[in-house]
Structures are given as structure tokens and as C-alpha cells.
Chain A
Amino acid sequence: MMDNVGGSSSNIAENSGIIREQDRLLPIANVGKIMKQILPPNAKISKESKETMQECVSEFISFVTSEASEKCRKERRKTVNGDDICWALGSLGFDDYAEPLRRYLQRYREQELDRANNPPKRG
């Protein structure tokens, strides 16, 4: 009992001052699944590869998001929306990604409108 209590209190103190792994990085299983989509069925991915890709994609998300957030800060807006992300990709030189993402965002909004106009029936 005493050991458990001490352990839990130390964990609470430790967690309050630390950025947890799951808050800083994408889930490694999801990263592995996305990497597997582009590979042949019998290919294997080492854990080191997944961890390296996990670090890279998490940093890329923070990189693009900080660019979009800076734009919102200058325009005195608090919400970062999809258009800001597309603009950020373009301003950072990722024009090849910005255009497909705009089309994706357009279709996503059309889909949301369809859902709003035709709510699913209950029961």
C-alpha cells in the first residue's frame, strides 16, 4: 500500500512537468499503417523506421501549424481553419501539396453540407 501511494504521487508530480509522448507525437501504430499502404504486401517495416517517421511527421505538423497560427495571430483570429493550413503550405513552398489539399477541403465541405441537409434517419 505505501509503495503504491508513493508511486502514484511521484507519477502525478512527474506528469505535471513533462510533455507526454502521446501529446507530442502521432501514435506509432497509425504511422506504421500509413507507411504500409504504399509498400508491397509482404514488406516489413522496422520499429526504428516507424519511430523516425513518427518524429518527422510530428515535426512537419508543428512546422505547418505554426506558420498558419502566425497568420491567424496577425489577423487577430483565434481559430485556425483549413484555409489557413492550405495557405501555410503554399507560403512554405509546398505548393504541390497545397493544391490537392484545397480540393480535398472543398470536397470535405460539400460532404458536410450533404450531411447537414440530409440528416440520417433515427430508429
Chain B
Amino acid sequence: MPGKADTDDWRVERGEQIQFQSSIYSHHQPWRCGVGENASKSSSADQLNGSIVNGITRSETNDKSGEGVAKEYQNIKHAVLSTPFTMDKHLAPNPQMELVGHSVVLTSPYSDAQHGQILTTYGQQVMINPQLYGMYHARMPLPPEMEEEPVYVNAKQYHGILRRRQSRAKAELEKKVIKNRKPYLHESRHLHAMRRARGNGGRFLNKKKLENYNSDATSDIGQNTGANPSTNSPNTQHLFTNNENLGSSNASQATVQDMHRVESFNIGYHNGNGLAELYHSQANGKKEGNCFGKERDPNNGAFK
């Protein structure tokens, strides 16, 4: 009996949601009626997400009635305003769009579990707060961009997602967003790392191992004399190893830029937690390494 009742409630909620959506779109945008029809057609798929929808619907019972109504109007207005964005999106499709839908979908199950716990704790509030008509449409279909089917998202996040899509599209047009990641941020540090001595497995040699390596080696390795004596953490070694494997190189940069970026780099480390001091000391060590690198230039010239 309880399970059957839940199923009936879910069906009623879905029906009202579809009706409400169709009424909204019929008033403002004729072509949005198609979206409503798609929603009705994909009812079988929605059944799989029924638990998620019910969970989010229950969570909204705790919201204030005024905020709910006002937010619904905002959503409607923004839906109308999003029409030129849709046209713009067709001109410049954004590959990150799917990431938003994906992340939103991933968020729902977790929030569903949390809201279930809230219901257990605040059972009385649920009884006290009357459910509004607006609470039934917890899911709103985003305007379809590249997907074949509409992506349903939390109604509260609807206009926020559209705004972020506009921001990313604008950034795409005005500036070129880096899609391929650089293997490293600073050319000078990369060059220094490439010059350091490496042992088995590609890890850097510390001071003791370097002495053993020099004593064992028959040939004289002059390039390794300026190696950084400080001990590096495994993470740092791993990062440098990746740099070597990638093997890509960029043109050299101006000294002023290097200094500026080093400062920003240190600022980033200061924001960290207790390990900031350790990394700061390592950064100083790296600077010293750069000095050694500069001193080696005459030697390199001599070799040439």
C-alpha cells in the first residue's frame, strides 16, 4: 500500500508538472511547446529519475512561499530572454555545455539522500507548511543546444545555468580559452628541471645519491654540478617526471614575465594550509637553482 501510494503521488506530480510547463511555453514561446511534447514523450525515461524528482520536490517544501513564486517568475522571464542566447549558441557551440548538465545530474542523487535525512528530522515542518502549486515542477527543461533530448535541471538553478552558458560563450568569442593544458607554467623552471640529474625510474637525485652517482660514474658529468641539493616531495618529482615524458617545449620568455609569474606562484602557495611554508622553502630552492642555471651559460658556450 505505501509503495503504491508513492507511485500515484509521483504520477500526479509529473502530470501537473507537464501541464504547467506546457501552459508557460504556450503563452510565451510557440516553439517551446515542442519541448513540452518531448517531455511527455520521454515519460518512460523520467520514471527512472522519479526518486530524484520526488526528493527535490520534498526539499522545496521548506522554502518560503514568497521566494518560490518570485523565483518562478524570474525563471519565466529569463527563459524568454534566453532566446537570443540560443541563436548565439548555434553560431558558437560551447563544448563545456555537457559538463554543466553532467555535473548537475551528478549533484541530484547526493542532495536527494541529504533531503531524505532532512525529512526524517523535520517531519513536523513538512506537515505544517502547505505545498504550493509551484512546488510540483521541480524540474525544468533547458533549451536544447547540442543534445538530442532536453536536459532537466533543478528549477532554482535554471537561470544560473543559462547565465553561465552566456558567460562561457562570451569568453569563447572575445578571448581564446586554452583548451589544451600546458604541461608546465614557467619555461625557466622547466628548463632547470630538464637539466637536473635523474636516477632509475626518472626521479631526481638528491645530494647524497648525486655524490654516489658521480663517484660511480666513470665519465665526468659537469652539467650535474649545479643540481638542487634540497630534497623534493614525491608529488613534485612526479610532476617533473610527467613534464619530461611530454617533451613539448615553448619559446623562451622575458625575464620580467618570469619574475611576475614567480610572484604569483608564491602567492598561490601562501593561500595553502600548513604546507605553504614547505613549498615556499622549495620555491626559494628553485630560485637558487635558476641562479646556478644562469651561471652555467658560459660553460655551455665553451662546449659549443
Name A's B-contacting residues (CB within 8 A): 3-4, 6-8, 10-12, 17-22, 24, 27, 29-30, 32-33, 47, 51, 55-56, 59-60, 62-63, 66-67, 70, 91-96
The 4 closest A-B pairs by CB, nearest first: A7-B251, A93-B156, A8-B254, A4-B252
Give bound CA distance, A95 to B161, whole Å. Answer: 18
Asked if A19 and B182 make an inter-chain contact with CB atoms under 8 angstroms apart, the answer reads no
Asked if B157 and A92 make an inter-chain contact with CB atoms under 8 angstroms apart, the answer reads yes
The reply to whether the CB of B111 lies closer than 8 angstroms to some CB of chain A is: yes
Asked if A62 and B154 make an inter-chain contact with CB atoms under 8 angstroms apart, the answer reads no
Q: A19-B171, A96-B114 are in contact. Are A63 and B160 (CB under 8 A)?
A: yes
What is the minimal beta-carbon distance from A111 to any residue of chain B, in angstroms?
16
The reply to whether the CB of B257 lies closer than 8 angstroms to some CB of chain A is: yes
Which B residues are in CB contact (< 8 Å) with A32? Answer: 235
- Chain B residue at minimal CB-CB distance from A14: B176
Give bound CA distance, A47 to B109, whole Å. Answer: 25
Q: A10-B251, A22-B264, A33-B275 are in contact. Are A91 and B164 (CB under 8 A)?
A: no
Q: A63-B164, A93-B154, A93-B156 are in contact. Are A11 and B253 (CB under 8 A)?
A: yes
The reply to whether the CB of B294 lies closer than 8 angstroms to some CB of chain A is: no
Give bound CA distance, A28 to B271, whole Å. Answer: 13
The reply to whether the CB of B2 lies closer than 8 angstroms to some CB of chain A is: no
Give how many B residues have a beta carbon under 8 Å from the other chain's beta carbons.
43
Q: Can you list 12 A-B contacts with CB-CB less than 8 angstroms, sorted by A residue number?
A: A11-B250, A11-B254, A11-B257, A12-B257, A29-B235, A30-B271, A30-B272, A47-B242, A59-B164, A66-B167, A91-B156, A93-B156
Asked if B164 and A66 make an inter-chain contact with CB atoms under 8 angstroms apart, the answer reads yes
Q: In terms of DSSP, what is the predominant structure of the interface of chain B?
A: helix
Name B's A-contacting residues (CB within 8 A): 56, 59, 62, 67, 71, 96, 99-100, 103, 111, 114, 118, 154, 156-157, 160-161, 163-164, 167, 171, 175-178, 181-182, 185, 235, 239, 242, 250-254, 257, 264, 268, 271-273, 275
Instruction: Give the contacting residue for A95; candidates B59, B99, B100, B157; CB below 8 A.
Output: B59
- Chain A residue at minimal CB-CB distance from B275: A33
Q: A62-B167, A93-B154 are in contact. List 12 more A-B contacts (CB 8 A).
A: A3-B251, A6-B251, A22-B185, A29-B235, A29-B239, A30-B271, A33-B273, A33-B275, A56-B103, A91-B71, A94-B111, A95-B59
Give bound CA distance, A37 to B257, whole Å. Answer: 34
Give bound CA distance, A59 to B182, whole Å. Answer: 19
